[in-house]
């Protein structure tokens, strides 16, 4: 849908988007004078759930905006994609930026916003530049700006780049960052719908969420819902990384069996055995191979299996992976990226990293697993934002499912998987199709 057949060099250009039927949803809304309430109702029928990670119903979120509020209202797109394993928004902006612009313009119309910002991850600066060009194209064609297509509706949209801070993917940190401050999350409530950017009502959605909107308007909410499964409407992009033959993005109906997704990604590299999968980005609990192989790729199935669909980032690990080493790297990431505002997270992520690090390096102590569980227990639910929980869930789930491997490390001062096997398994690998 969003990425179907759009991988050519010029596919991102306005002309190509128009040739694919682009901006027809916006034109339909304008020419048929579809009321904002009807657009929001359509999204609710579609059961479009936020594609950034939380899976919150988009229609419901839009209905929280005080449409009749007389002052400024803002719209923000969260393209600050830095959750390890996730790389779908980059491809959407790279190959189909106008779908995001159109989706945001429809959202602005539905919620009465006059101005919006797309916050783009700093590390993909070339994509930020491309998005700015796409904005220029849309402005020149009067699809953006004052009095869009003579409708009397005005909306302007700008690109804002990050510069290396994972935390800005948290929606209130993102707003702080647009305001030109450190990206430190705000207390909620008040929620952004009442106190957002510059203190004004603001709605923030993920890139893929916005990009799905034009399709829903065109095909109707019911048809979109039916692409997926009940309570899990539509198609979804899955970023598959790790030990597969063809890492990449795969856009499939929600509810597709994991085994089919694995097959699409070329199966296991070197025909090796699947060991574990992180199904929804690094913050979601890891699942062992057998549990994962019985899951379908949708919010409800993955949640039932004890994890989260999150952003749809599927990190595949085979039998050559040392689970302690894998967790050590993730724990370092959260330690490095904690914004430092809340003591349990700032100090706790350091504790988690240092303890996992010493286990990995043969210095683990008999009570270290209890210590790790105690630290996570003291972080979770005690911080302003979800980063503390995100740092804790991998630790808890790695210990829960692979505790034996951690125990082996502590008792034998070495990895269960021999270093030679690990070394071979993590060699530089580039798919021949790249």
Partner 1 sequence: MLSQESLQQIDREVAKYPADQKQSAVMAALRIAQVEKGWLPQELIAFIADYLEMPAIAAYEVASFYNMYDLEPVGKHKITVCTNLPCALSGGVHAADYVKQKLGIDFNETTADGKFTLKEGECMGACGDAPVLLVNNHHMCSWMTKEKIDQLLADLESK
Site residue total, partner 1 (CB under 8 A): 63
Options 51, 73, 130, 161; binder of partner 1; rule CB under 8 A: 161
Cβ partners under 8 Å of residue 100, min gap 6: 77, 79, 92, 93, 118, 131, 207, 210, 211
Is residue 124 within the footprint of partner 1 (CB under 8 A)? yes
Residue 140's CB: how many other CB atoms inside 10 A?
A: 11
Query: Cis bond leading into 122, ω under 30°?
Result: no
Residue 361's CB: how many other CB atoms inside 10 A?
A: 14
CB of 378 to partner 1, least distance (A): 24
Binding string, residues 361-400; x marks residues near partner 1 by CB under 8 A: ----------------------------------------
**Structure tokens of 122?**
């700093």
Is residue 89 within the footprint of partner 1 (CB under 8 A)? yes
DSSP class of 279: B
Name the β-bridge partners of 236. 252
Is residue 179 within the footprint of partner 1 (CB under 8 A)? yes
- 310 sits in which H/E element: none
CB of 426 to partner 1, least distance (A): 6
Nearest of 296, 355, 322 to residue 421 by alpha carbon: 322
Residue with Cβ nearer partner 1 (39 or 265): 265
**Structure tokens of 10?**
């010029």
Is residue 434 within the footprint of partner 1 (CB under 8 A)? yes
Options 59, 221, 242, 344; binder of partner 1; rule CB under 8 A: 242
Question: For residues 182-211, which are near partner 1 according to CB under 8 A?
Answer: 182-183, 198
Is residue 98 within the footprint of partner 1 (CB under 8 A)? no
Residue with Cβ nearer partner 1 (229 or 325): 325
Stretch that binds partner 1, among 1-9, 10-18, 315-323, 383-391 (CB under 8 A): 315-323
Name the β-bridge partners of 206. 78
Planar angle of CA 174, 178, 181, nearest 5 degrees = 90
Q: What are phi and psi of 267, to 5 degrees?
A: 75, -175
> Using CB under 8 A as the criterion, which residues of the chain lie in contact with partner 1 when the complex forms?
72, 81-87, 89-90, 115, 117, 121-126, 158-166, 177-183, 198, 239-243, 247-249, 282, 313, 315-317, 321, 326, 329-330, 333, 336-337, 339, 425-430, 434
């Amino acid at each position: 849908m969003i990425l179907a057949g759009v991988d050519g060099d010029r596919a991102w250009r306005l002309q190509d988007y128009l040739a694919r039927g682009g901006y027809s949803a916006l034109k339909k809304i304008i020419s048929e004078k579809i009321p904002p309430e009807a657009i929001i109702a359509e999204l609710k029928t579609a059961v479009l759930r936020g594609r950034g990670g939380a899976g919150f119903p988009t229609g419901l979120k839009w209905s929280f905006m005080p449409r009749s509020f007389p002052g400024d209202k803002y719209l923000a797109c969260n393209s600050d994609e830095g959750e390890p394993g996730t790389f779908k928004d980059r491809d959407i902006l790279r190959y189909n930026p106008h779908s995001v612009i159109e989706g945001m313009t429809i959202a602005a119309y539905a919620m009465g916003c006059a101005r919006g910002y797309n916050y783009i991850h700093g590390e993909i600066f070339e994509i930020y530049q491309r998005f700015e060009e796409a904005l220029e194209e849309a402005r020149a064609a009067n699809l953006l700006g004052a009095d869009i297509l003579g409708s009397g509706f005005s909306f302007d949209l700008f690109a804002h780049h990050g510069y290396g801070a994972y935390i800005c993917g948290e929606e209130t940190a993102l707003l702080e960052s647009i305001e030109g401050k450190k990206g430190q999350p705000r207390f909620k409530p008040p929620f952004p719908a009442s106190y957002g950017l510059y203190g004004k009502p603001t709605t923030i959605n993920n890139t893929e969420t916005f990009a799905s909107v034009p399709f829903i308007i065109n095909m109707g909410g019911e048809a979109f819902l039916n692409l997926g499964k009940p309570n899990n409407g539509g198609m979804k992009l899955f970023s598959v990384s790790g030990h597969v033959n063809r890492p990449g993005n795969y856009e499939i109906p929600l509810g597709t069996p994991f085994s089919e997704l694995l097959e699409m990604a070329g199966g296991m590299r070197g025909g090796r055995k699947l060991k574990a999968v992180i199904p929804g980005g690094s913050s979601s609990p890891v699942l062992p191979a057998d549990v994962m192989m019985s899951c379908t790729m949708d919010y409800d199935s993955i949640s039932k299996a004890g994890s989260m669909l999150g952003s749809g980032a599927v990190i595949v690990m085979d039998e050559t992976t040392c689970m302690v080493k894998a967790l050590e790297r993730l724990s370092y990431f959260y330690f490095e990226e904690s914004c430092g505002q809340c003591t349990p997270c700032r100090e706790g992520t350091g504790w988690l990293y240092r303890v996992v690090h010493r286990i990995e390096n043969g210095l683990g102590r008999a009570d270290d697993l209890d210590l790790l569980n105690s630290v996570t227990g003291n972080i979770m639910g005690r911080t302003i934002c979800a980063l503390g929980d995100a740092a804790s869930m991998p630790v808890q789930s790695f210990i829960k499912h692979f505790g034996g491997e951690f125990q082996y490390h502590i008792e034998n001062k070495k990895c269960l998987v021999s270093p030679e096997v690990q070394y071979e398994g993590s060699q530089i690998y580039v798919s021949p199709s790249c």
